[in-house]
Amino acid sequence: MKSLMRHINIIARCAGMYRADRLGDSELGAVHQSYVLAICKNPGISQDELARHICINKSNVTRKITYLEEHGYVTRVQSESDKRITLVYPTQKMQNVLPQVRAVTDECNEYMTRGFTEEELKQFKKLLERVSARAKSYVETRGNDKL
């Protein structure tokens, strides 16, 4: 299936544009939505766990978290049990944008699959979950240091 990843890339890029359009010219571009959703769901997540969770390499995560901290969306705290670990907490400002980010994400999911029957949706989700688990397993076997 030669075109599989081409379709995945196109969907990911168009969904990024969709979300960026809906969020307007806010400080939070479309790329930050994964961060908002993950950090609000897991307050106190370490930067390394966050990188694994959203499958973005550590140096990019560090850069984005620095941006989010500078703009008042997160605070960073050194772990008491291990000083090398940095924990990330959402601020009230991030909590305040969460409903809008969630709404745009839901709207985008709904837009992309409009016309699907319940059965097709279920099937699509099941297949996507398998591929996504396989994709994550690649990143894990690759070693965290490389992430």
Site of interaction with its own copies (CB under 8 A): 1-15, 17-18, 21, 34, 37, 54-57, 105-106, 108-109, 111-116, 120-121, 123-125, 127-132, 134-136, 138-139, 142, 146-147
Nearer to its own copies, 77 or 135 (CB): 135
Name which of 60 and 78 has its Cβ closer to its own copies.
Answer: 60
Choose between 82 and 119: whose C-beta lies nearer to its own copies: 119
> How many Cα atoms occupy the beta-carbon half-sphere of 58 within 13 Å?
12
> Considering the complex, what minimum distance in angstroms separates the CB of residue 31 from its own copies?
10
Shortest reach from residue 77's CB to its own copies, in Å: 26
CA pseudo-torsion sign 9, 12, 13, 14: positive
Count of other CB atoms within 10 angstroms of residue 101: 23
